[in-house]
A = this chain, B = another copy of it.
Amino acid sequence: MTVLEQTPGRDDSGARPTPTAAWRPRTDPAALLPDETPFRLLGTSARLDKERKELWRELYRRLVHGRRYNQQATALTKQGRLAVYPSSTGQEACEVAAALALSEQDWLFPSYRDTLAAVARGLDPVQALTLLRGDWHTGYDPRETRVAPLSTPLATQLPHAVGLAHAARLRGDDVVALAMVGDGGTSEGDFHEALNFAAVWKAPVVFLVQNNGFAISVPLAKQTAAPSIAHKAVGYGMPGRLVDGNDAPAVHQVLAEAVERARSGGGPTLVEALTYRVEAHTNADDATRYRSDDEVAPWREHDPVRVLERELRQRRLLTDAEAEEAAADAERMAARLRDRMNAEPLLDPRDLFAHVYAEPTTQLREQDAMLRAELAAEDEPGEPGAAGHDHQHDQQHEREHQHEHQHQDQERAA
């Protein structure tokens, strides 16, 4: 990377140095541009060595697992066991490949839609779903799991990933951060700032955009006029890669290459995975308002689980027995998850005050004491007046619940 201030060049005539001649492109843009067609492995004649074969089979088992996880989580919303669930059905290839592309010490920065990636990384699903269940904001220890809190404010997790990766590099640690964001999220200023910082700092980060065609109801064509989202990379001086997001081996390979590039000091990469949000935005959304079934149909065909299964069978890498075992395994996971989510979570109202500051302020201590007194009074049925108040309290809650049930089409999350 040459910089203008060091190399005054020569002008057209060759006669005398002028500064503008120094302003040549500082990196070769051609190397940064994505290929015209998304990278694919399925349906190609790619040769597989033993390791690759095992990887594809592993991807398959995890996709089956992931699909079942999505179904179970959606079912839990219907039973009122999750406040809301933004499903990644149809996007499992991206979720699973993202998790597998990372090493133990690397960090994942998921959005609200990416609990599956966290689970595929090894997180307890109940912990991963804590936010969406509504019992606490983050259900796991990010440092222990190297999974950042699920980010709801769009694209805000991207600068965090850059900062963390940069910090690790400054400390001499071998850590790559992989940050996930949607097509809609790329319109936010934080996307721009994060990519720019990453490129200037050569931070070991990989940005994975799951372009699933929609930001809630807004189709990509209203989101950007760019040739592709991957083309945004050149504006930051980093390579952009385009991949078929429903082709799990392809996504895995592109991400693994980008992670390796980051790990070896090559800097950040922007990966755009082309996929599709087969379900509504969340269980609370009504997708029929903005798209037709006709549009969804071909994507149900180009389903990440199906296309991988078909190919594995064609290549004789999957037996019926193995497929059944994968399904059975997923079923066991789902049953366990259902059971555990049916148990009422243990909640302590005093947690409200416990973690606002390292040490609660005087003000919070007073408020904590007030709440404790209230709770104690509620527990004492004999307390005069309390019953009356409790009654009011209950009425109020009942009314609120009615609201929620009457208006399930309201958007309650993410």
> Which A positions have Cβ atoms within 8 angstroms of B?
1, 3-5, 8, 11-13, 16-21, 23-29, 32-33, 36-38, 40, 43-44, 187-193, 196, 199-200, 202, 211, 213, 219-228, 231-238, 242, 244-247, 267, 274, 276, 291, 295, 298-299, 301-302
Residue on B nearest A29 in the bound complex, by CB:
B227
Tell me the bound Cα distance from A162 to B291 in angstroms: 29
Tell me the bound Cα distance from A17 to B192 in angstroms: 34
With a cutoff of 8 Å between Cβ atoms, the chain B residues found around residue A189 in the complex are: 188-190, 192-193
Tell me the bound Cα distance from A327 to B226 in angstroms: 47
Tell me the bound Cα distance from A235 to B240 in angstroms: 11
Tell me the bound Cα distance from A345 to B224 in angstroms: 48
Tell me the bound Cα distance from A411 to B240 in angstroms: 39
Assuming the contacts A20-B302, A36-B24, A43-B12, asked whether A224 and B244 have C-beta atoms less than 8 A apart, the reply is: no
Query: Is A13 within 8 A of B43, CB to CB?
Result: yes
Assuming the contacts A234-B234, A235-B232, asked whether A225 and B26 have C-beta atoms less than 8 A apart, the reply is: yes
Tell me the bound Cα distance from A4 to B227 in angstroms: 12
**Which of the residues B1, B44, B234 comes within 8 Å of A235, measured between beta carbons?**
B234
Query: Is B227 within 8 A of A200, CB to CB?
Result: no
Shortest Cβ gap from A191 to chain B (Å): 7
**Which of the residues B12, B36, B223, B237 comes within 8 Å of A227, measured between beta carbons?**
B237
Query: Is B43 within 8 A of A36, CB to CB?
Result: no
**Which of the residues B19, B24, B43 comes within 8 Å of A37, measured between beta carbons?**
B24
Shortest Cβ gap from A165 to chain B (Å): 15
Query: Is A224 within 8 A of B246, CB to CB?
Result: no
Residue on B nearest A202 in the bound complex, by CB:
B225
Query: Is B200 within 8 A of A193, CB to CB?
Result: no
Query: Is B237 within 8 A of A26, CB to CB?
Result: no
With a cutoff of 8 Å between Cβ atoms, the chain B residues found around residue A13 in the complex are: 43
Query: Is A276 within 8 A of B231, CB to CB?
Result: no
Assuming the contacts A29-B231, A237-B227, asked whether A276 and B11 have C-beta atoms less than 8 A apart, the reply is: no
Residue on B nearest A268 in the bound complex, by CB:
B225
Tell me the bound Cα distance from A349 to B292 in angstroms: 62
Q: What are some 15 contacts across the A-B interface (CB < 8 A)?
A: A11-B43, A16-B301, A18-B302, A19-B276, A20-B247, A20-B302, A24-B36, A25-B231, A189-B189, A192-B193, A200-B222, A202-B225, A225-B236, A226-B237, A234-B234
